[in-house]
Structure 1
Amino acid sequence: MTGETQTRTAIVLGAGMVGISCAIHLRKRGWDVTLVEKTKPGAETSYGNAGVLSRGSVLPVSYPGMVFDVPKILMGKTNAVRFDLSGLARAFTWAPSFLMNGTKARNRKISDGLSALVAHCVQEHEILMEEAGAASHLAKRGWIKVYRSEASFQKTAFEREMLDKHGVRYAVLEPEDLAKLEPNLEPIYVKGLHILDTASVDDPGALCAAYADLFKALGGRIEIGAAKSIGETGDSATVQLEDGRPLSAENIVVAMGPWSANLLKTAGVSLPAFEERGYHRHYRAEGNAVLNRPINDVDGAFVIAPMAAGIRLTCGVEIAAFDQPKTPRQLEAVLPKAREAFPLGDTTEDEPWLGRRPSLPDSLPAIGKAPCHDRIWTCFGHHHIGLTTGPISGRLLAEMMSGEKPIIDPKPYDPARFR
């Protein structure tokens, strides 16, 4: 470990993939770090996803022409996005800016910032996995997007242009190629797009737990508690926990995923964040069927991924009030389509899992000093790629806080860009 004569102190709020990564990288630089989580590491957003370390996520969530799909979304005619009326009022605070980013010109610019992060995603994870003794969770077989019609595949032209621009390797698959790679996938697809540089993990929650153990082995502390408010005065920053306990350090990092924006408001920081809700559920594979890598059925609006707990089925985005009760209609709607594609048997769980993804209108995270603050830092807003980019984001923030030359240009992620 390296560090200055006087130990610097930090409190990292949030022990999902991003927060744990921030804490590890600060600890590696000699910081005295307390990691605060309301439940246990990796139990919230980072637990539920397709397990993909996606080198190919170089495009924002808002795509060219998305504005024309809004009526279809609002009328509930797509499983890719479900809009609940409970989320309608808040949508006006972020939706216009979000849709404005859905042009090819804006996508091209945003893709530079996304590519800089995801270019490091697999190798940064591999470093931490080796140190944490968690390399057995990793598979380096890429992942495949599949298409049920030629017209659907042709819509990927712009995506492939951006993959080419950023040097992401991929292969276009014909039905016979798909059959060789995934022999138990039903022959219902006319094309596939194999993102070759992507990896995957078989238990995101367990991986987070392993990284949390690594943080403790490096000398870090984990405190269980929910943050109620934050602030800074002079040479210190303070967190007030809901149980009444105060915690203080020289710096605070807010890495609480979808809970970050509301906490930042207690320090007078307003960022146009929103939450994308999503569901998953595990199923048994019938017979001796095997799935070798995550498969994204673009037309069916679902992903099936091989996990330690079974085949994980994930569905599209639900926009609803933060605490709206579970309404897993999207998951129920895509299950028959998923069974058309792969022999899914009975579920292994009593009910679906619900999680929330933290997003910002330009699909870039907020990494850096909070506006108008010197001791409050942010690292959140990674939408669907928090698992993918947690380690590189944590490294970038730790380098910035430590006064080191950052591994990538941090400007695209500056939280002040929304002022």
Structure 2
Amino acid sequence: MDDVIILGAGIVGVATGIHLLRRGRSVTLVDRSAPGHETSFGNAGIIQREGVRPHPFPRDLTTLLQVGLHLSTAARYEPLALPKLAPPLLRYWWESSPEHYRRVVESYAPLIGRSIIAHSDLIAAAGPEAEKLISRDGWYLVFRTAEKMAREEGKARADHERFGIGYEMVGWPALKALEPSLLGKLVGAVHWTDPWTVRDPGALVTAYFELFKRMGGTFVSGEAGRLSAEQGSWRTTVGGRQVVARQAVIALGPWAPDMLEPLGYRLPLFVKRGYHMHYHPKDGAELNHLLLDTEVGYAMAPMTRGIRITTGAEFAMRDAAPTPIQLGKAEAAAREIFPLGERVDPQPWKGARPCTPDMMPIIGKAPRHEGLFVGIGHAHHGFTLGPATGELLAQTMTGEATAIDIRPFRMERFLGG
């Protein structure tokens, strides 16, 4: 019998396994997919140290109308999904009020503050295969209008003063010098200087997984059956093989409810789906930095496979058929500012971001069971926060003091206790 079963081999599960192995625990990691090939695979590749403000539900009428009329690239909804999504989305809207949101940011900022620290630790331990994927020169929030740029400069200044986030304002001439292939349509950018970017997020998780294996961790490939507590241990069956451990961690991202609900935990979780596609540059063009076209709502990043475009949020059921409408809009907008060539991938990649109504993850012990722990609900920041979450879970599970206060992230906030 192992010490720990971890269900889910995304970045949260792998990082949790590494931190537990460091503390002398034996660990079995279970997933039906290759490690890092689900939600961890398809993001924009930013370790978002600047991301102290999680994405709130829009409350201004203009944005709500754009989304409601399907005019927005940053967000869209699937009408048939609304009856099931309405309760958590209404709570999401409520939690996004200015008073509630201020409290969320206060709790969230220390967690984001661990992001670079925790990734740096694992990158150094994983070695050259991880290090070669990392760029440490930040990313650029680009603008099409001076009015939007001025508003965002004010927010950047406030976050610098309050949280110490590094930034620089970059006008169009300087941005053009940094990115000579840009075509125009932009007035400048906020250069967030603290974050790191990754040229292949899936490959970084694979490098972390290789570290997990070198440290003695075990991986079992297959669909995990129902998780059950019996005689002081946790059990599941994977492909006819029984896996047993003293403790269990659920790090299944958007699939966590499938395992939690049979145990009596009905949480107001929902997903924001997203898409990506890679492109060849046209006529020898080069993209040197990640750009987020904030007034349209997509990111464009240089990746190993080409230039990756990632979309905003699609509110739909987790397993519904792909509807990559936003990708088409994002591609058209990207061609206005950069000479994109042909698509590289045969079809768009689709993933689901696991979200909570209060925009904060669930990290810690499940309150109704001994030996059961959870790390889910990271929304847009799962790739950023995976190593920090793994560190905090391992500290909690082994009785250590946690690096930050994790009480704001307890599951109990959704269970009335």
Whole-Å separation in 1 of the counterparts to 2:284 and 2:76: 34
SS at match of 1:184: coil
Whole-Å separation in 1 of the counterparts to 2:326 and 2:143: 19
Whichever residue aligns with residue 118 of structure 1, its letter is I
Let me know the Cα RMSD of the aligned residues: 1.7
**Distance change (3 Å), C-alpha of 1:163 and 1:261:** farther
Aligned ranges 1:288-327 → 2 under 5 Å: 288-327=284-323
Match of 1:174 in 2: 171
Q: Give the conservation status (yes or no) of the 8 Å contact 1:300–1:334.
A: yes
Match of 1:269 in 2: 265
Return structure 1 stretches of 4+ with deviation > 6 angstroms: none
**Distance change (3 Å), C-alpha of 1:153 and 1:222:** same
**Distance change (3 Å), C-alpha of 1:154 and 1:231:** farther
1:206 maps to 2:199: no
Whole-Å separation in 1 of the counterparts to 2:212 and 2:345: 31
C-alpha distance after superposition, 1:19-48 (max 9, x if no partner): 100111111111110000111101100000
Q: Give the conservation status (yes or no) of the 8 Å contact 1:11–1:248.
A: yes
Aligned ranges 1:3-402 → 2 under 5 Å: 9-63=3-57, 65-66=59-60, 69-133=63-127, 134-156=130-152, 157-158=154-155, 160-241=157-238, 243-402=239-398
1:81 shift after superposition: 0.7
SS at match of 1:228: coil
Whole-Å separation in 1 of the counterparts to 2:228 and 2:356: 23
**Distance change (3 Å), C-alpha of 1:329 and 1:237:** same
Q: Give the conservation status (yes or no) of the 8 Å contact 2:67–2:77.
A: yes
Whole-Å separation in 2 of the counterparts to 1:160 and 1:332: 34
C-alpha distance after superposition, 1:241-283 (max 9, x if no partner): 4x34432211110001110122111111111111111000000
Whole-Å separation in 2 of the counterparts to 1:347 and 1:180: 26
Q: Give the conservation status (yes or no) of the 8 Å contact 2:57–2:92.
A: no
1:212 shift after superposition: 0.7
SS at match of 2:342: strand
Q: Give the conservation status (yes or no) of the 8 Å contact 1:63–1:107.
A: no
Q: Give the conservation status (yes or no) of the 8 Å contact 1:305–1:312.
A: yes
Q: Give the conservation status (yes or no) of the 8 Å contact 1:66–1:99.
A: no
Q: Give the conservation status (yes or no) of the 8 Å contact 2:181–2:285.
A: yes
Deviates more, 1:125-134 or 1:182-191: 182-191
Whichever residue aligns with residue 68 of structure 2, its letter is L
Match of 1:412 in 2: 408
Q: Give the conservation status (yes or no) of the 8 Å contact 1:58–1:163.
A: no
**Distance change (3 Å), C-alpha of 1:68 and 1:369:** farther
Whichever residue aligns with residue 381 of structure 2, its letter is I
Deviates more, 1:64-73 or 1:370-379: 64-73
**Distance change (3 Å), C-alpha of 1:267 and 1:159:** farther
Whole-Å separation in 2 of the counterparts to 1:88 and 1:324: 13
Q: Give the conservation status (yes or no) of the 8 Å contact 1:281–1:314.
A: yes
SS at match of 2:6: strand
What percentage of residue pairs aligned between the two structures are identical? 36
1:65 shift after superposition: 2.5
Q: Give the conservation status (yes or no) of the 8 Å contact 2:72–2:296.
A: no
Whole-Å separation in 2 of the counterparts to 1:61 and 1:113: 14
C-alpha distance after superposition, 1:72-113 (max 9, x if no partner): 312212111110023212212201110112223222211123
TM-score by length of 1: 0.94
Q: Give the conservation status (yes or no) of the 8 Å contact 1:175–1:189.
A: yes
**Distance change (3 Å), C-alpha of 1:371 and 1:74:** farther
SS at match of 2:43: coil
Whichever residue aligns with residue 203 of structure 1, its letter is D
SS at match of 1:215: helix
